Amino acid sequence: MDPPKHAKLRNIVSKAFTPRMIEKMAPQIREMAENLLDSKKGKELDIVREFTSPLPIAVIATMLGIPLKDMGKFKTWSDAIVGGSDMLYSNLSGVIGEMTHYFQNLIIEKQNNPDGSLVYSVINAEVDGEKLTMMESLGFFVLLLVAGNETTTNLISNALLTFSENPGTYDAIAGDHNLIPRAMEEVLRYRSPVQSIYRVAKVDTELGGVPVKKGSIMVPWIGSANRDESVFDNAGRFIIDRKENRHIAFGEGIHYCLGAPLARLEAKVAMEYMAENFQSYEILGNRKMIPQNSTIVYGMKEMWIRLN
Ligand code: HEM
């Protein structure tokens, strides 16, 4: 979406995503991590299915104000929309229909019982003196699902993969949790969960000496920019405490990722929980690691590990 409507819509939810607001969720996120990984010591599991995928879904569902009893339903829709491993629906319009029906009821419930949830903020927000239509509100919820879940899942899974390839990294963060935020920034750069995005040229222009015609579809490669040798020393190496890490994994400019503080917090809490509760982990070589089938999002659909 372009200005001016973009800023008006973004403002509706931006307050809920400031680092200050997000930080308050840390204890809840930790509890969710605990619920998912409690009693998994010594077990072999698909970490995507059991941990890195359900965690961000539970977080965003909580922010939206989805009651606990409906979490399972919400996860099924989310998986169907973003094409996750539990694809139960073959047609997207069926899912959207079901979600619409669900949110219609939820909206009525929230109107009668106001709370601080995102659903409540969105349905009561006004743009140019008018409330959003049902489809616009639903679009918002779907956007948050699509933009925020698989990406954060991939950040955490990519971190586990990258740490396992770099012996000593996991022990180092277990020994000093202060290393986690910087290590995660380096994962964002080194294995960017969003590798590419789309843009359409609004006017005839020129980029890097190449003429671009109005209406052309462009694909800026975030993953490539994040390994630019003219910006990063040893760009092809994972350096746990890289200084000056000016990656663009969350984009740039007016569309800069709304959920960046949330994704960072989720990844930090997830890693802290793991490092505190598991001495080590091992990616199982005898199980196939299945990558996401996409040129946009980058990560694993399935990754089996043993937690020790
Ligand atoms: C590691 C996790 C994440 C990564 C790598 C990521 C990456 C990105 C990128 C690259 C963009 C820019 C897209 C563009 O310029 O076209 C973006 C935008 C966006 N992201 Fe994220 N994201 C992550 C997590 C989240 C989360 C957790 C949420 C919300 C719950 C979220 C919500 C959004 C939204 C709403 C936009 C659009 C912003 C706008 O157009 O103004 N993202 N994200």
**Ligand 1 pocket residue status of 29, Cβ below 6 Å:** no
In a domain, 253, yes or no: no
> Is the beta carbon of 160 within 6 A of some atom in ligand 1?
no
70: which residues sit within 8 A by CB, 6+ positions away?
61, 102
Assess if residue 66 is contained within a domain. yes
What is the phi/psi pair of residue 78, to 5°? Answer: -60, -45
Q: Is 201 within a domain?
A: no
Q: What angle do CA 213, 216, 219 make, to 5 degrees?
A: 125
Residue 288 falls inside a structural domain: yes
Instruction: Report yes or no on 43 lying in a domain.
Output: yes
Residue nearest atom 39 of ligand 1, based on CA coordinates = 255
Please tell me the predicted confidence (pLDDT) of residue 89. Answer: 47
Pocket flag, ligand 1, residue 55 (CB < 6 Å): no
In a domain, 226, yes or no: no
Q: Is residue 275 part of a domain?
A: yes
CA 172 – ligand 1 centroid, Å: 29
Q: Is the peptide bond before 56 cis (omega within 30 degrees of 0)?
A: no
CATH of the domain at 143: 1.10.630.10
Q: What is the mean pLDDT of each run of 10 residues along the chain (308 residues)?
A: 92 90 95 96 96 93 88 80 54 82 88 87 88 85 84 97 97 97 98 96 95 96 98 98 96 96 98 98 94 91 97
240 lies in a domain?
no
Domain count, the chain: 1
pTM: 0.94
DSSP label at 49?
A: I
The range of the structural domain enclosing residue 39 comes to: 5-191+259-307
CA of 250 to the centre of ligand 1 (A): 6
